[in-house]
């Protein structure tokens, strides 16, 4: 016979199994389709952190067979910058993030630009007014400033909240007649959310776990502004609800707003279908102290925008694309800023990321923006980039065969593809000067004899190919009994002016017989005069 504790533990185990099953099926029943959104405000060039946010959203959507939305949050007319929306769309498409629904694509919840959804927000704010969950507030900014000062002089901070609202000018303190008179007279007002005095907001962030906030610490946030436009908070919550968003994945800077958003969902009666939140870690300065800023980019000489951005005043900010970062490298670099695969793998294609990505592996702590890592990724992807494409894109003025050879010669030596073009130009320029230190150390009799003999043998090479050139060099040096290693660097200096560079035989093949002979003649002459 089992004893009592045994049966009790079995009972507990069974009941929790039962509960787990119930929870499971409940979850399945209510499980929403995965719908995520990237919701930028068109206030200027999209910060690179925004691209990472979009990328994480996209990866989750693709992984779970969901939809990725693009919503433009342009309700703050004072911060609107024209061209920013187009820029955002171009930046996302550059890195390969495709939008399923939203601005530029359309979809069942049109319009996706918040400035075109004014009536919707008006309707929902009216609902909250009618249900006594929001109220009109007429306080002018001067009055609120005065309030703030009074509080400050008493050593505390002013909040428009359950206590102070009763002493301010709003529909909770005005008589119905006065309220009507003000509204009729068109006195400007805002609509504020009536945050409960004593309540707790509790939600589970997928990255930060449970977040608890007491409502006494929150103030009655403005939902509708005096210009008739909603604030970010109202528009964001209403749209996430109407657009059936399942996961809100956004930057950590929005975490302080989240409790208030939860209260809004509650006020609307939408809490049970509220999206899940995931607040992403900050991007930190390269040294790791503090948030990455535009200034860090200027100081470190690197962009913080995906594409070049032209400010309204005509000034330009660098873009990763224009600097020569490949989109594959960008994606790979960005995804690892705050997420890790849990393995040693470093290089991921977009398809592999879609397969591997999980929100669980996003870190809580900020990620250092190490630009050297971005460069390293660029080199890795550049190495594997098809030669034909690089030749076509970066060496359009060269004959195809030569262009391919140049690409082959340089692509593993450079960080950015456009450097291949720069290197090519340098390769075809006859040197004007020769590395002095190397000349001083190595321009000796053997070098002079060996290089001269080599030069004299060159005209007899029929196919001027690296292999044959090398063979000729060997032969000539052997005849003279000079060791190859003794004169190689000097030969390079004679040909290019510099002591180091890419494969010399291939370089000669590309430069061509006539030019190689001419350069060697010039060098022998000039160096003999010097020494
Ligand atoms: N419009 C906000 C932004 O510019 C969106 C924040 C959110 O995703 O909720 O970042």
CA atoms within 13 A on the CB side of 215: 20
Measured CA distances, 166 to 10, 30, 95, 131, 160 (Å): 57, 41, 52, 18, 9
Which residue's alpha carbon is nearest to atom 5 within ligand 1? 39
* Block mean pLDDT (10 aa), the chain, length 531: 38 39 42 91 96 98 98 94 96 98 98 98 98 98 95 96 96 97 98 96 97 96 97 98 98 97 98 98 92 91 96 95 97 98 97 98 96 98 96 96 97 97 96 96 96 98 97 97 96 97 97 98 89 56
Give yes or no: residues 377 and 394 share one domain.
no
Please identify which of the residues 118, 182, 291, 294 carries the catalytic annotation. 294
- Domain annotation covers residue 140: yes
Q: Which residues contact 43 (CB under 8 A, 6 or more apart)?
A: 76, 79, 80, 81, 84
This prediction's pTM: 0.89
In a domain, 11, yes or no: no
Q: How many domains does the chain have?
A: 4
Where does residue 43 rank: exposed (0-12), middle (13-18), buried (19+ CB within 10 A)? Answer: middle
Write down the pLDDT at residue 31. Answer: 56
Nearest CA to ligand 1 atom 3: 40
Does 234 share its domain with 145? yes
Which is the closest atom of ligand 1 to the Cα of 250? 8
Domain match, 306 and 250 both: no
Q: Are residues 317 and 247 in the same domain?
A: no
Predicted pLDDT at 175: 97
CA of 41 to the centre of ligand 1 (A): 7
Cα 492 to ligand 1 centroid, rounded to whole Å: 56
Q: At what angle do helices 387-394 and 400-410 cross, to 10 degrees?
A: 110
Ligand 1 atom index nearest CA of 73: 1
Q: What H or E segment, with its residue span, contains residue 432? A: none
CATH value at residue 313:
1.10.1160.10
Cis peptide before 440 (omega within 30 of 0): no
Dist CA 61 CA 247 (whole Å)? 9
Residues 301 and 419 in one domain: no
pLDDT reported for residue 18:
40
Q: How far is the CA of 129 from the centre of ligand 1 (A)?
A: 25
State which of 317, 349, 383 marks the end of a domain. Answer: 383
CA distance 493 to 519: 10
Distance CA(177)–CA(182), nearest Å, equals: 9
Residue ending a domain, choose from 427, 450, 484: 427
| Cα–Cα distance, 416 to 394 (Å, whole number) | 11
Residue 201 has which token pair?
């907001």
Which long-range contacts does 293-297 make (Cβ < 8 Å, 24+ apart)? 296/369
Same domain assignment for residues 257 and 299: no
The end-to-end CA distance of the chain, in Å, is 106
Pocket test for ligand 1, best of 47, 232, 238 (most atoms within 8 A of CB): 232
Distance CA 175, CA 167 (A): 13
Q: CATH no. for residue 447?
A: 1.10.10.350
Report which secondary-structure segment, H or E, holds 36: strand 35-38
Dihedral sign computed on CA atoms, order 327, 330, 334, 335: positive
**According to DSSP H, which parts of 31-166 are helical?**
48-63, 84-95, 118-130, 141-153
Q: Which pLDDT score, from 0 to 100, does residue 9 have? A: 39
Closest C-alpha among 246, 211, 191, 199 to residue 65 = 246
Which ranges constitute the DSSP H helices of 283-345? 294-300, 320-323, 327-335
In sequence order, which residues have a C-beta less than 8 Å from that of residue 354 and are 6 or more positions away? 59, 62, 63
- Residue 50 in any domain: the answer is no
Q: Of ligand 1's atoms, which has the minimum distance to the CA of residue 38?
A: 8
CATH code at position 175: 3.90.800.10
Tell which one of 36, 117, 229, 236 to mutate to probe ligand 1, the residue whose CB is within 8 A of the most ligand atoms: 236
Establish if 26 belongs to a structural domain. no
Which of 40, 43, 50, 69 most suits a substitution to test ligand 1, by most atoms within 8 Å of the C-beta? 40
Same-domain pairing of 186 and 253: yes
CA 250 to ligand 1 center in whole angstroms: 7
411 is annotated as an active-site residue: no
The answer as to whether 14 is a domain residue is no
At 528 the pLDDT is 87
CA of 247 to the centre of ligand 1 (A): 13
CA of 69 to the centre of ligand 1 (A): 13
Check if the beta carbon of residue 345 is closer than 8 Å to that of residue 374. no
Whether residues 347 and 402 share a domain: the answer is: no
Q: How far apart are CA 189 and CA 80, in angstroms?
A: 22
Instruction: Pick the closest to residue 166 from 145, 194, 143 (CA basis).
Output: 194
CA dist 460 and 269 (Å) reads 89
374 and 361 belong to one structural domain:
yes
Distances (CA, A) of 468 to 453, 465, 478, 506, 517: 15, 5, 15, 10, 15
Those residues with Cβ within 8 angstroms of residue 203's Cβ, 6 or more apart along the chain or in another chain: 210, 211, 258, 259, 262, 274, 277
What's the pLDDT score for residue 6? 39
pLDDT on residue 12: 36
Pocket (CB within 6 angstroms of ligand 1): 39-41, 73, 232, 236, 250, 254
Interatomic CA distance for residues 396 and 141, integer angstroms:
61
Residue 491 falls within a domain, yes or no? yes
273 and 302, same domain (yes or no): no
Domain end among 350, 366, 383: 383
Residue 257 resides in a domain: yes
Q: Is residue 89 part of a domain?
A: no
Please give the number of the atom of ligand 1 that sits closest to the Cα of 39: 5
Please tell me the predicted confidence (pLDDT) of residue 3.
41
| 485 and 358 within one domain | no
Residue-number span of the structural domain to which 513 is assigned = 436-530
- CB of 508 within 8 A of CB of 469? yes
Same domain? For 347 and 394 the reply is no
The residue whose C-alpha atom lies closest to atom 10 belonging to ligand 1 is 40
């Amino acid at each position: 016979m089992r004893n009592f504790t045994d049966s009790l533990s079995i009972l507990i185990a069974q009941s929790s199994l039962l509960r787990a099953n119930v929870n499971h099926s409940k979850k399945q029943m209510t499980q929403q389709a995965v719908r995520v959104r990237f919701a930028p405000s068109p206030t200027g060039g999209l910060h690179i952190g925004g691209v990472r946010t979009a990328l994480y959203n996209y990866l989750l959507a693709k992984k779970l067979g969901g939809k990725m939305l693009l919503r433009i949050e342009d309700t703050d007319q004072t911060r609107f910058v024209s061209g920013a929306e187009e820029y955002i769309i171009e930046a996302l498409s550059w890195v390969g993030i495709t939008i399923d629904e939203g601005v530029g694509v359309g979809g069942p919840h049109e319009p996706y630009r918040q400035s075109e959804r004014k009536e919707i927000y008006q309707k929902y704010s009216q609902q909250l007014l009618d249900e006594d969950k929001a109220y009109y507030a007429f306080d002018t900014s001067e009055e609120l400033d005065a309030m703030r000062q009074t509080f400050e002089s008493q050593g505390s901070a002013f909040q428009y909240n359950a206590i102070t609202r009763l002493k301010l000018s709003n529909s909770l303190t005005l008589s119905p007649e006065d309220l009507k008179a003000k509204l009729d007279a068109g006195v400007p007002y805002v609509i504020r959310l009536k945050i409960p005095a004593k309540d707790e907001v509790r939600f589970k962030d997928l990255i930060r776990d449970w977040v608890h906030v007491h409502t006494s610490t929150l103030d009655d946030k403005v939902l509708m502004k005096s210009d008739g436009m909603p604030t970010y908070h109202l528009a964001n919550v209403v749209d996430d609800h109407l657009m059936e968003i399942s996961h809100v994945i956004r930057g950590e800077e929005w975490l302080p707003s989240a409790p208030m958003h939860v209260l809004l969902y509650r006020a609307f009666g939408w809490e049970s279908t509220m999206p899940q939140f995931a607040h992403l870690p900050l991007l930190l300065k390269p040294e790791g102290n503090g948030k990455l800023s535009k200034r860090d980019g200027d100081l470190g000489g690197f962009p913080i925008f995906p594409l070049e951005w032209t400010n309204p005043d005509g000034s330009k900010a660098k873009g990763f694309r224009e600097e020569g970062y490949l989109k594959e490298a960008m994606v790979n670099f960005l995804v690892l800023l705050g997420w890790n695969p849990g393995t040693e793998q470093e290089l991921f294609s977009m398809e592999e990321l879609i397969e591997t990505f999980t929100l669980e592996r996003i870190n809580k702590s900020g990620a250092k923006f190490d630009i050297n890592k971005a460069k390293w990724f660029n080199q890795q992807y550049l190495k594997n980039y098809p030669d034909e494409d690089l030749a076509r894109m970066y060496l359009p003025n060269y004959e195809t065969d030569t262009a391919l050879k140049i690409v082959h010669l340089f692509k593993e030596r450079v960080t950015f593809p456009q450097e291949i073009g720069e290197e090519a130009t340098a390769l075809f320029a006859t040197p004007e000067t020769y590395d002095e230190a190397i000349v001083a150390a190595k321009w000796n009799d053997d070098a002079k004899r060996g290089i001269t003999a080599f030069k004299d043998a060159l005209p007899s090479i029929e196919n001027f190919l690296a292999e044959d050139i090398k063979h000729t060099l060997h032969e000539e040096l052997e005849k003279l009994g000079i060791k190859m290693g003794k004169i190689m660097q000097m030969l390079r200096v004679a040909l290019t002016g510099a002591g180091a560079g890419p494969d010399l035989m291939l370089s000669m093949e590309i430069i061509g017989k006539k030019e190689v002979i001419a350069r060697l003649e010039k060098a022998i002459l000039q160096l003999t005069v010097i020494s």
